[in-house]
Structure 1
Amino acid sequence: MSRHGDAVPPSGTEGYLLDNRQSEAGERFTALSELFDPSTFRHFERLGVGPGWRCWEVGAGGTGVTRWLAGRVGAHGRVLATDIDISWAGEAAPPVELRRHDVAADAPPAERFDLVHARLVLVHVRDRETALRNMIGTLERGGVLLLEDADPALQPLVSPDEHGPAQRLANRLRQGFRTLLAERGADLSYGRTLPRLLREAGLEQVAADAWFPLALPACRTLEAATVRQVRGRLVAAGLATDAEIDEHLANVARGDMDLATGPMISAWGRRP
């Protein structure tokens, strides 16, 4: 994800559900990178990212995308990587600059970019309109915005082949997780709206596609880390018991369940 840090939780909740500071966050970053970096990099290449480009990576999460961009833009380019929590990032060296920044609440960078990219960010941000406006406002003429967000409502099952009790338990826990996300302001149908939103914002050459990982080892890694990260909230909300979570984690560890993620929808468009 990844976004994983730009969420602004609704009042009355306990904060962002998948906090970067929790120990499981590193496992999630690694799994998300393995699942989605190849698709993201394919889009970067198709959009022509190259030497000298100025890029803003919004909600940087793990470091894989930032490193790829830095390698592609070279010494004469620039990569601004922002997140509300940059403790994960360590030291940065040119062409990368790290900056603590909330894309919805803080003023956007004053500079202009050839590429603005956010993955698994806006689905969690409460003030999505402001965040989208801030990102588009920083685009150079002809610059491209690439947004990638999940749409769990399109495919809500973690185990699409629900043929036994282990799969039914997995899907029930996933429904509990989606309930917690929705209570904290996540829009579980946001991904499908991206092409329309980019057109309505005045971008041109808008297009989109989707990537749907299924039965990959990293799907199991992501599921186990996510469930461990939210188990306390699942139990506190009465959505699962500790025994059920332990059973599910043991089922995942066996390695014989075909697990999936929600579809990742990627949409892009250029500023006229």
Structure 2
Amino acid sequence: MSTEYALQDSWHRARRRMDCMEATYDPGTIRHLTALGVGPGMRCLEVGAGGGSIARWLADRVGPGGEVAAVDIDVRFLSDLPPPVSVHECDVRVDPLPGDGFDLVHVRFLLAHLAERDEVLDRFVAALRPGGWLLVEECDSVSTAAMVPGTPHETMMRHAERVLRQLIDVDMGRALPGMLTSRGLDGIGVDCHVPFAEGGGPEAEWMLLTVGQLHEATGGLADEETFARWEAALREPRTWVPGGAIVSAWGRRAG
């Protein structure tokens, strides 16, 4: 696995790609956070805060008496966040986390990129107060089974997955339940969601931008004719395609 992140936030359309990713996956994340009881006065750690959408939601839920520490290795998109959010530029592999005793630690689409994932996950568990919740969400290739064989989408997604397997662990999601169980967490729950995107919508645009950036970064996932057919299909209304699966797993620190 490469240690170089292929989807750099320095890309000229990275902000838009992140907006579309949030539109695709935030509803599920918020549903899980709500079920875990996030509310007034809680102290929360948002890791890999990205564009800040979940940090903003957490700030509204915990209110002025709470705390939200938003952490990312690149904080360029974490401006103008409301109180009680504090922003921390941090490489979670080597830098200290901004405190401990958190009621909630949430991390999305991060561990799959890290060779040091076990050590990093241990740090997240240690940052919880007794009874605090950890919610981890990661990608998984299980969604490839939902693709219609021979379609432009299936062809391009196979090309993208082949390249991504050299860069990240595309099967990370299915490992999460065992990883949380082995760390002695209680109340473990798991959910897997495969979003379906209609051509021309934000979910389809997220795929277009993500695969498009990867296409640029790698010198071409496929020939230009194949890429163009796929791009045209994802811009066509009333065309529905499965997106990337997200596995959400949560557990509570004993004590």
Alpha-carbon offset, residue 256 of structure 1: 4.2
**Counterpart residue number, 2:174:** 192
The counterpart of 2:216, out of the listed 200, 210, 232, is: 232
Alpha-carbon offset, residue 234 of structure 1: 4.3
1:17–1:180 CA contact under 8 A, matched in 2: no
**Counterpart residue number, 1:105:** 94
Partners in 1 of 2:203 and 2:83 — Cα distance?
33
**1:61 matches 2:50:** yes
The counterpart of 2:144, out of the listed 156, 161, 170, is: 156
**Counterpart residue number, 1:6:** none
Which runs of 5 or more residues in structure 1 are unaligned? 1-8
Partners in 2 of 1:171 and 1:89 — Cα distance?
34
Kindly provide the amino acid, as one letter, of the partner of residue 137 in structure 1: A
- Bigger share in strand: 2
Moved over 6 A (4+): none
Q: Indicate the RMSD between aligned Cα atoms, in angstroms.
A: 1.8
1:198–1:206 CA contact under 8 A, matched in 2: yes
SS of structure 1 residue aligned to 2:144: coil
**1:179 matches 2:167:** no
Aligned pair count reads 252
Kindly provide the amino acid, as one letter, of the partner of residue 144 in structure 1: W
- What whole-Å deviation, never above 9, does each CA across 1:57-100 have from its counterpart, x for those lacking one? 00011221111000000001000001110011123342000111
**1:35 matches 2:47:** no
The counterpart of 2:2, out of the listed 5, 10, 22, is: 10
Partners in 1 of 2:85 and 2:97 — Cα distance?
17
1:24–1:228 CA contact under 8 A, matched in 2: no
SS of structure 1 residue aligned to 2:143: coil
Within a 5 Å distance, the mapping from 1:63-78 to structure 2 comes to 63-78=52-67
1:83–1:100 CA contact under 8 A, matched in 2: yes
* TM-score (normalizing by structure 1): 0.86
Q: Summarize the Cα distance change of 1:105–1:179 in structure 2 as closer, same or farther, 3 Å threshold.
A: farther
Partners in 2 of 1:262 and 1:220 — Cα distance?
11
Partners in 2 of 1:78 and 1:264 — Cα distance?
27
**1:50 matches 2:33:** no
- What whole-Å deviation, never above 9, does each CA across 1:153-181 have from its counterpart, x for those lacking one? x1226x7133x5xx2x3222222222222
Partners in 2 of 1:119 and 1:129 — Cα distance?
15
**1:251 matches 2:233:** yes
Kindly provide the amino acid, as one letter, of the partner of residue 10 in structure 1: S
**1:170 matches 2:153:** yes
- What whole-Å deviation, never above 9, does each CA across 1:108-153 have from its counterpart, x for those lacking one? 333320000011111222211111011111000100000111111x
**1:134 matches 2:118:** no
Partners in 1 of 2:236 and 2:130 — Cα distance?
52
**Counterpart residue number, 1:4:** none
Alpha-carbon offset, residue 34 of structure 1: 1.6
Percent of counterpart pairs with the same letter? 34
**Counterpart residue number, 1:208:** 190
* TM-score (normalizing by structure 2): 0.91
Kindly provide the amino acid, as one letter, of the partner of residue 130 in structure 2: R
Kindly provide the amino acid, as one letter, of the partner of residue 37 in structure 1: D
Partners in 2 of 1:126 and 1:180 — Cα distance?
17
